[in-house]
Structure 1
Amino acid sequence: MRRFETALALDRDDPTPVFLQIARAIAARIRSGALPGGAPLPSSRALAATLRVHRNTVLAAYAELAAEGWLRTRAARGTFVTDALPARPPARFAPPPAGPARAAGFPLPPAPAPLPADEAVSRASYLLLGGTPDPRLVPSAALARAYRRALRRRDGLSYGDPRGHPRLRAALASMLASTRGIAAGADGLVVTRGSQGALALVARALLRPGDAVAVEALGYHMAWETFRLAGLRLVPVPVDAEGLDVGALSARARAEGVRAVYLTPHHHYPTTVTLAPGRRLALLDLARRERLLVIEDDYDAEFHYEGRPVLPLASADPAGVVAYVGTLSKVLAPGLRVGWVAAPPDAIERLARHRAYLDRQGDHAVEAAVAELFEDGELQRHLWRTRRILLGRRDALADRLGAAFGERLRFRRPPGGMALWCEVAGGVDPEAWARAALARGVAIQPGRQFALDGRPRPCVRLGFGRHDERELAEAVRRLARALRQVGAPGERPRAGRRSRAVSTPGCRPTAPAPPR
């Protein structure tokens, strides 16, 4: 028995759990005939001492082998190799056969537009993409503890409410009430798979195919495509230094039968300006008169660095016209897929019914874990830490850009968000610059990616969320080399901060925000 015990070699660097390594080694000896049917195995305590592992690890290995049919246990006698071995040993699935994939044997509808950042994400070392947070900042240890606690309680492992886990809805409702003035309550929310899932749900549950939706003419490609896939028709509305042009919206609502408007009023995507107070009131009044659905996407409300953040439209909505969409993707991680919709009760009921057929209920186990983070205060502490870090990164990127490019790249420091919206000097092609930067491992977003009409804009969007100050400095150095390659006006860069207003048509709005 001593030879058997010492023959089990464990690889501590192997990511495979140790109990599975032990189980597979014993199963291999049984298959080879070294351990015949009926042969006794060492006690779990003895094998654990020999292998220098915890006894529970050996017990887990024995339980795995017993479940697979390799071992049997006799009360008060020990563990033995079974006399009737499995007909075929458990094995991993074989890889698929090599060769070209077959085309679909049925007609396919038109495909959605490709994601603008696909190529950049696959090739770049530095992702200066505005909506990309830094996964290194995720409180992974706290999240793992919360997830283990939820699983130990079997919390969220059964079918549940399609509105989402009740504990997370209660935590979100408390946060929205205390920080954003939204008195929705837990029953006034539907938890979704990120804000993207929320937009898709709203488009299908609260609108009909063929309805017209007004959108910001410079805006969020993913939302536009989501609406198109739901059969909705997009109507562009101009955006200027005060946000969405509500006067233009009013005219187009009457002319084109608009039934909803989608906007990002807190930090306009992509320019970061805030919808002016007068326009906020005018928009809510217009929506009340015309019975328009206002889809308010507050995608990065948590990251506001200067002055008091403006409360959402949903906080001043007595007419019940606003569906408020939010997400934890920027706070925690996009991979967790946690977002929400807050809306009037009858709209929430409609959303929940659609959700039950589309997704049944979402991932209640993850939602229970996130609720744990809310309840023990870890999420709030993480948010405070992250906001401080992102403010430092914003200023670091702004300083580096000012020193490297001077008047060739003009921008203002946004009061919130995770990106800078920059005007490039005349003579610089943003598309060519983006291609040259990508060849040097830096992904940036030229203005065309945010234009509903697909026309070029003399602007770029530079995100600072994913990288620390040292990495941002290297990214700027590479951007400078890329700009020299594509050619730029002869002006020499001047050091210092650049915060003056930009007025180039197509790059608006960029006027400095008024103090709040």
Structure 2
Amino acid sequence: MNSPVKELIKQLVSFDKSSIQPLYIQVAQQIINAIQRGYLAKGSKLPGTRVLSDILNIHRNTSVAIYDELASQGWVNIVANKGTFVLIPDENFSKIKASGQKVNEAYDYYPEDSGFPFQQSFNLASTEDKTISKYIINDGKPDLRLHPTHQFSRWYAAAMKRKSLINKWNITHIESVSVFKTQLCNYLNVTRGFKISSKNIVNTRSAEMSLYIVSQLLIQPQDLVLVGQLSNYASNMIFQQAGAMIKTVPVDDDGLDVDYIKNHFTKNSIRCVYVNANRDYPTTVRLSAKRRLQLLQLAKDFGFAIIEDDFDYDFQFDGSAMLPMATADTRGMVIYLGKLGQSLFPSFHTGFIVAPDNFINEAKNYLQLLDKQGDLIQEQMLSELISEGEIYRLKKKNSITYKRRRDCISHFLDQYFRGIIKLKVPSGGLAIWIQFEESISLIRLAQEAVKLDLFLPKTILYQDKTTCAIRFGFGHLNETEIEIVIKKLKGAYNNLINS
């Protein structure tokens, strides 16, 4: 007669040999699930490894690995020459079972609503749209397919083997000077014209985290924050969450209109001005040299901070990128935000804040609350990639690819939308600003596009009384895909006009 435990394992355990997850983990998790649900009681003897291998038709070494995994998590006790017996690590489980409650009931559902009040925020409501379209236009993201996967695996493995890494994990305070910060400072000094040391910089997980920390340190409720007329929805949400009162400033061909600020606001009434000096978001226009100097002077006269978000400095195709406004700041009025490693996979991008010493000290304190652990492996690897020149080489190599794509999308837009749109080819960046000559419903255009398997998220559509435009990100599309997407967009436009 077969053991009930054997029959139970036959019924409950299944696995997929083609799965990425190891087979022994798959089986161990299902046995744990059976224990949690009360199918395998405490003290039950499990089949021996040979019997288990016969039941599941697996190698005996896999059976050994399954029991070792269960034992390492405290779910079984392996007694030499006697067998493997079920344990229940969580005594609360035993209490539930003893109380008469059905074990399965605890796992049938989870509450949809909390039983306690909490603060809800409309500002942080998800702006992500759900779609199953084959082609998607974003606001200007890099192409993950250009990530150097094989090289990256070697770099990552090498960083993991560094003996100094373990010692760094045990440090419980922020190091005054780290190798990564030193390398990052050197890189920025060479490539962006800074003259900073490690005391002027703090690195974060992302540009969004950098801006969040800055906003928390800088902004009090009802503080006035000025942004560009159309601006970036993500940065606006961060400011709103900090309690800021946001007002917009016109943007023309020379960028943010500094005279407008001077003429419409008064001294000490502005907390900060948020600007994308290199390429305005979303219009891609550059803040002119004259206006940069005017803004710096006005910041001193009016007593406001400048947040310079240089999110795509590395993507410059024609000529040289204009140096950050922060490099000309001699009075400590500019907080500079940037990104490093955009040629790598997103989890290995790093954001950073450049500012005067006292502000960076406070930013480090705040970062300790949000991300005390940090990512030492990432920092170790990026330090070596900077030191060996790999970051710079990847940036230059990918820039050639992105420039070709920019030229490609400009060509096809001119071919399919001549007379319908107007655009100015940007000198860099991974997005192009498309303005329709005659206003149309962009929401209806997006609806028609979805029918053709092309998705336009709401966050790239800009429409009001004077604007009908799309921030068209092209970086993630190759030349073949660009032509397909432009054809689909034209088809959606034709369907809209003819409907």
Using the size of structure 2 for normalisation, the TM-score is: 0.79
Which stretch has the larger CA shift, 386-395 or 303-312? 386-395
Q: Given that residues 435 and 470 in structure 2 are in contact (C-alpha distance below 8 angstroms), is that contact kept between their aligned partners in structure 1?
A: yes
Counterpart of 1:478 in structure 2 is 488
Which stretch has the larger CA shift, 153-162 or 350-359? 153-162
Give the residue type in structure 1 aligned to 2:435. Answer: E
1:198 to 199, 210, 217: 210
Give the residue type in structure 2 aligned to 1:272. Answer: T
Alignment of 1:363-512 (within 5 A): 363-444=375-456, 449=461, 457-487=467-497
- 1:138 and 2:139 matched: no
State the Cα deviation string for residues 137-173 of structure 1 (Å, max 9, x = none): 2233444444444444437645655589933322321
1:122 to 131, 150, 166: 131
CA, structure 1 residues 172+19, in 2 after alignment: closer, same or farther (shift >3 Å)? farther
1:377 deviates by 3.5
Q: Given that residues 124 and 438 in structure 1 are in contact (C-alpha distance below 8 angstroms), is that contact kept between their aligned partners in structure 2?
A: yes
CA distance in 2, matches of 1:58, 1:383: 48
1:220 to 199, 218, 232: 232
Alignment of 1:249-328 (within 5 A): 249-254=261-266, 257-328=269-340
Alignment of 1:85-164 (within 5 A): 85-87=86-88, 97-98=108-109, 101-102=112-113, 105-106=116-117, 108-112=119-123, 114-116=125-127, 118-119=128-129, 122-152=131-161, 153-154=165-166, 157-158=169-170, 160-161=172-173
Greater relative contact order (CA < 8 Å, ≥ 6 in sequence): 1
Give the residue type in structure 1 aligned to 2:236. Answer: W
Q: Given that residues 49 and 64 in structure 2 are in contact (C-alpha distance below 8 angstroms), is that contact kept between their aligned partners in structure 1?
A: no
Give the residue type in structure 1 aligned to 2:25. Answer: L
Give the residue type in structure 2 aligned to 1:293. Answer: A
1:205 deviates by 0.9
- Secondary structure of 2:343's counterpart equals coil
CA, structure 1 residues 392+363, in 2 after alignment: closer, same or farther (shift >3 Å)? same
Which stretch has the larger CA shift, 19-28 or 157-166? 19-28
Q: Given that residues 460 and 471 in structure 2 are in contact (C-alpha distance below 8 angstroms), is that contact kept between their aligned partners in structure 1?
A: no
- 1:14 and 2:15 matched: no
Long gaps (5+) in structure 2 = 1-9, 34-38, 51-56, 91-103
Which stretch has the larger CA shift, 394-403 or 94-103? 94-103
Give the residue type in structure 1 aligned to 2:253. Answer: A
CA, structure 1 residues 40+461, in 2 after alignment: closer, same or farther (shift >3 Å)? closer
Q: Given that residues 206 and 350 in structure 1 are in contact (C-alpha distance below 8 angstroms), is that contact kept between their aligned partners in structure 2?
A: no
2:188 to 132, 154, 176: 176
Counterpart of 2:370 in structure 1 is 358
CA, structure 1 residues 290+307, in 2 after alignment: closer, same or farther (shift >3 Å)? same
CA, structure 1 residues 84+437, in 2 after alignment: closer, same or farther (shift >3 Å)? closer
Which stretch has the larger CA shift, 103-112 or 131-140? 103-112
CA distance in 2, matches of 1:13, 1:164: 48
Q: Given that residues 427 and 488 in structure 1 are in contact (C-alpha distance below 8 angstroms), is that contact kept between their aligned partners in structure 2?
A: no
State the Cα deviation string for residues 105-163 of structure 1 (Å, max 9, x = none): 425444215454x22x5343222212322222223344444444444443764565558
CA, structure 1 residues 114+83, in 2 after alignment: closer, same or farther (shift >3 Å)? closer
1:324 deviates by 0.4
Q: Given that residues 123 and 438 in structure 1 are in contact (C-alpha distance below 8 angstroms), is that contact kept between their aligned partners in structure 2?
A: no
Q: Given that residues 140 and 474 in structure 2 are in contact (C-alpha distance below 8 angstroms), is that contact kept between their aligned partners in structure 1?
A: no
CA, structure 1 residues 282+207, in 2 after alignment: closer, same or farther (shift >3 Å)? same
CA distance in 1, matches of 2:126, 2:441: 21
State the Cα deviation string for residues 457-515 of structure 1 (Å, max 9, x = none): 221221101111111111111101100111079xxxxxxxxxxxxxxxxxxxxxxxxxx
State the Cα deviation string for residues 317-353 of structure 1 (Å, max 9, x = none): 1111111001237433444462110100011011112
Which stretch has the larger CA shift, 239-248 or 372-381? 372-381
Give the paired residue count. 465
- Secondary structure of 1:286's counterpart equals helix
- Secondary structure of 1:236's counterpart equals strand
Give the residue type in structure 1 aligned to 2:477. Answer: H
Alignment of 1:327-346 (within 5 A): 327-328=339-340, 330-336=342-348, 338-346=350-358
Q: Given that residues 308 and 337 in structure 2 are in contact (C-alpha distance below 8 angstroms), is that contact kept between their aligned partners in structure 1?
A: yes
Give percent identity, aligned residues only. Answer: 26
CA, structure 1 residues 52+134, in 2 after alignment: closer, same or farther (shift >3 Å)? farther
Alignment of 1:60-71 (within 5 A): 63-67=68-72, 68=74, 70=76
Long gaps (5+) in structure 1 = 1-6, 43-49, 74-78, 490-516
Q: Given that residues 439 and 468 in structure 2 are in contact (C-alpha distance below 8 angstroms), is that contact kept between their aligned partners in structure 1?
A: no
CA, structure 1 residues 328+245, in 2 after alignment: closer, same or farther (shift >3 Å)? same
1:455 deviates by 5.3
Q: Given that residues 130 and 419 in structure 1 are in contact (C-alpha distance below 8 angstroms), is that contact kept between their aligned partners in structure 2?
A: yes
CA, structure 1 residues 260+210, in 2 after alignment: closer, same or farther (shift >3 Å)? same
Q: Given that residues 138 and 460 in structure 2 are in contact (C-alpha distance below 8 angstroms), is that contact kept between their aligned partners in structure 1?
A: no
Give the residue type in structure 2 aligned to 1:319. Answer: R
CA, structure 1 residues 487+449, in 2 after alignment: closer, same or farther (shift >3 Å)? closer
CA distance in 1, matches of 2:176, 2:497: 53
Give the residue type in structure 2 aligned to 1:101. Answer: E
- Secondary structure of 1:154's counterpart equals helix
Q: Given that residues 132 and 330 in structure 1 are in contact (C-alpha distance below 8 angstroms), is that contact kept between their aligned partners in structure 2?
A: no
Give the residue type in structure 2 aligned to 1:181. Answer: G
- Secondary structure of 1:258's counterpart equals coil
CA distance in 1, matches of 2:483, 2:297: 46
Give the residue type in structure 2 aligned to 1:484. Answer: N
Counterpart of 1:189 in structure 2 is 201
CA distance in 1, matches of 2:470, 2:302: 36
State the Cα deviation string for residues 41-85 of structure 1 (Å, max 9, x = none): 79xxxxxxx9899x9x99976753552465759xxxxx8664655
Which stretch has the larger CA shift, 141-150 or 465-474? 141-150
CA distance in 2, matches of 1:393, 1:149: 33
CA, structure 1 residues 104+296, in 2 after alignment: closer, same or farther (shift >3 Å)? farther
CA distance in 2, matches of 1:61, 1:39: 12
Which stretch has the larger CA shift, 175-184 or 165-174? 165-174
CA distance in 2, matches of 1:154, 1:58: 33
CA-atom RMSD in angstroms: 4.1
Give the residue type in structure 1 aligned to 2:113. Answer: R
CA distance in 2, matches of 1:155, 1:361: 13
